Structure 1
């Protein structure tokens, strides 16, 4: 099984360029058999543009999560703090084996769903 993650275009590009190897999340999927993430670049691109494999998922208190991911999470400390405001813990998906699609897809045409607020499960 795969998940589609809605990711802002600037961060989607950083992932596909190899600059960002941790995708930060306030919450995470409940199913344990997720191996791949499909990247939906949100507005203004609004297309499925690539994918990556999940190396591991970190779950730590916010200070520890920053220490472990700050070099490769693609955001500054102020954004990180604002994003996780009022949270004790957070998640970071460690990324491996990225793949940029040559053709970008409309999410509804390809998967029959609307863009997810955070993520959505899809069958292989």
Structure 2
């Protein structure tokens, strides 16, 4: 199972360069069979730019999560604290192998009336068939 994540361009750049090895989330997927995250780079890019394997999902308090992940956060402590302000639990997706798509994909070419997810969108076999042509070539 895959999920599509909306990620800001500066964070995408840090993921692609290997500087960011944790993708932080306020909530994560209920499904436990998610193994790959597809990266939708938010505006002004507005493209599906790649995917990464999810090595682990870490749940902890924000302070403890920072202690465990700061070395590969790709963000400042101030940004981290602001993002998790008021949260009891914090999550980090540990990023494994990253694959950049060339060319980057306009999601509107794959899905009619595409709307980027606020947090994430499951991409199961049915959705995968809907997105079929271009993504299937990339996933094979």
Q: Taking structure 2 as the reference length, what is the TM-score of the superposition?
A: 0.85
Higher RCO (Cα < 8 Å, 6 or more apart): 1
Which consecutive unaligned segments of at least 5 residues does structure 2 have?
129-140
| Matching of residues 18-57 of structure 1 within 5 Å | 18-57=18-57
Give the C-alpha shift of residue 88 in structure 1.
1.3
Structure 1 unaligned segments of length 5 or more: list them.
none
Pairwise CA distance, 1:111: 4.2
Q: Alignment length, in residue pairs?
A: 124
> RMSD of the alignment, in Å?
1.0
Larger relative helix fraction: 2
Tell me: CA distance 1:44–1:52, structure 2 relative to 1, closer, same or farther (3 Å).
same
Equivalence for 2:10 = 10
Aligned-partner SS, 1:96: strand
- Which protein has the larger Cα radius of gyration, Structure 1 or Structure 2? 2
Residues 36 and 53 in structure 1, CA contact (< 8 A), matched pair in contact too: yes
TM-score w.r.t. length of structure 1: 0.95
After the TM superposition, which segments of 4 or more aligned residues of structure 1 sit over 3 Å from their partners?
none
